[in-house]
Amino acid sequence: MNDANSALRALSTKIRQFEKSHMTKSNALGNASAMESARQHCVLLVDCFCKHNAYATAVMNVDLAVEYRDSCLQRGTIAGLERRLQDGANLPEEFVVRYRFLLKYRARRNAVIMLSNIASKHPDGDTRRRSYAALSRIVKNSPFGLLVAARTDALEHAVQTLMTWATGKPRDILPPWEAAELLHNLVSNEVAKRSDNLKRQIALPTLARSLLAIAKIVPNSVEYQSTALATMWQLLRAIGYDSTVQDALVAEGLVRLLLDDRHYAKKNSTVARMFGGCALSLAMHNTASQNVMASKQVKLPRRIVKVLSLHEDIDYLGEFASLNPWLSGGM
């Protein structure tokens, strides 16, 4: 793991230096050598996220097991059972035998877990896509389904699928939209706030960095750029605009990506909405990010206002009202 982290830091430094020296050029990673470094960086970063997430999940499962036990001891079996049901957790066999109505709960839970496993492991690509699509619909429409999916490896698998597509040679023309949609639904669903497991996964800086790394190596896919910006926006919103993740994204080069994507945003209102939402989320409650974005070399506040002025139908419903002075100051 230490070797992987060292390689990750070296590649990250190389990419940042290249982007910084080409700040005024469109698509700073257009150079073949730089793009190859970005691909290697993306693979290592996603692997790092998966390992960090697996470790954190194992620790959390131990903590939850202790919590369930204490709940049973202090408040009785029913209270312990209720706590597990609220989490979408697995049930001990003695619970299912004693309370037969829980068989339906277990069957529904197993169905979600099965879909997650098929989406990641089935050898047929079409079957994986259909499984991702079904899982995405469940996550979007069923609070229970989202809570169960949050306890599986669905988030990891979706990120890995996108990384495999983005780094492939030759790459498929179309992204795995089903995996991208599942990822977006996992981070944007309001029910996610009820899942400690999902909130913990979303809050890992390596997840946001992985999403950014994937987006940076497919700069010519306008549709995917829009999706990536939207997902990072919703992720930052879901974690309350956490400065740790914001700073990680700034350090990883999100500002550079925004500078490139503004050209797409000028021509497309959907991309413009995602561009503005992602950029403003990056600046929310974070003076350091605001300073980087407002620097003379970047001038993002002015660019954001210019893009949004081209699409007057875009309305963030007051989400970023506190940034109005910052935007005005960058004019």
- Please say whether the beta carbons of 44 and 2 come within 8 A: no
Closest C-alpha among 253, 176, 231, 218 to residue 12 = 253
Q: Report the interhelical angle of 32-75 vs 154-167 (nearest 10°).
A: 180
- pLDDT tens track of the chain, all 331 residues? 555 566 667 666 666 665 665 555 566 566 777 788 888 889 989 998 998 888 877 777 777 677 767 766 676 666 767 777 776 777 777 777 777 777 888 888 899 999 999 998 899 989 999 999 999 999 999 888 888 888 888 999 999 999 999 998 655 567 899 999 999 999 998 877 667 778 888 899 999 999 999 999 998 899 999 999 999 999 999 999 999 999 999 999 999 899 999 999 999 999 999 999 999 999 999 999 999 999 988 999 999 999 999 999 999 999 999 999 999 985 5
Distance CA 271, CA 77 (A): 51
Distance CA 92, CA 56 (A): 22
- Please say whether the beta carbons of 136 and 182 come within 8 A: yes
Domain boundaries along the sequence of the chain: 219-331
Distance CA 299, CA 330 (A): 7
pTM above 0.85, yes or no: yes
* Cα atoms in the Cβ-side hemisphere of radius 13 Å centred on 217: 28
State the DSSP code for 286: -
